[in-house]
């Protein structure tokens, strides 16, 4: 018996066995693209450069999405908030400027 535990013999000399179900609890999580690396990652900074060079809305949104994908636990909340702001439509230009300023010094 695989996984069986031999406990002893019964009075008629036949082996008495008890099987105990053993369960293993495993905790898994999706691998992080940034792991425990210090923020900002090289990929985040490359995406930030792409954002600065973006010629249209599609390139801009792709760069912002790439930056969001590289946010790790070490990223300041202000950076995440700034990226969310840049993806939001119908905000005053000052809100976008403030978000861009919040991101400006991250990779310098």
pLDDT in tens, 47-101: 999 999 999 999 999 999 999 999 989 999 999 999 999 988 778 899 989 998 9
How does pLDDT run across 1-31, given as a tens digit for each residue?
555 555 555 555 555 555 555 444 444 334 4
Rounded to whole angstroms, the Cα distance separating 77 from 106 reads: 12
Domain that holds residue 87: 42-104
Residue 12 lies in a domain: no
| Domain-located, residue 88 | yes
Q: Which residue, chain included where needed, has tokens 């760069």?
A: 63
Domain membership of residue 16 (yes or no) is no
The pLDDT, as a whole number, for residue 27 is: 42
Question: Structurally, how many domains does the chain consist of?
Answer: 1
Q: Is 23 domain-assigned? A: no
Answer yes or no: is 57 within a domain: yes
- Mean pLDDT within 25-52: 71
**In this model, does residue 33 exceed pLDDT 70?**
no
Q: What is the longest distance spanned by two Cα atoms in the chain?
A: 89
Of 71, 59, 103, the closest CA to residue 85 belongs to 103
Kind plus residue range of the DSSP H or E element containing 7: strand 4-9
pLDDT, position 8: 55
Residue 22 domain-assigned? no
């Amino acid at each position: 018996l695989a996984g069986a535990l031999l406990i002893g013999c019964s009075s008629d000399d036949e082996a008495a066995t008890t099987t105990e179900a053993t369960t293993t609890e495993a905790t898994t999580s999706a691998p992080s693209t940034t792991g425990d690396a210090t923020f900002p990652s090289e990929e985040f900074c490359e995406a930030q450069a792409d954002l600065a060079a973006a010629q249209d809305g599609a390139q801009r949104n792709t760069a912002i999405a790439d930056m969001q994908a590289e946010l790790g636990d070490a990223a300041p909340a202000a950076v995440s908030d700034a990226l969310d702001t840049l993806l939001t439509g119908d905000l005053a230009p000052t809100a976008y400027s403030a978000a861009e300023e919040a991101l400006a010094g991250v990779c310098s």
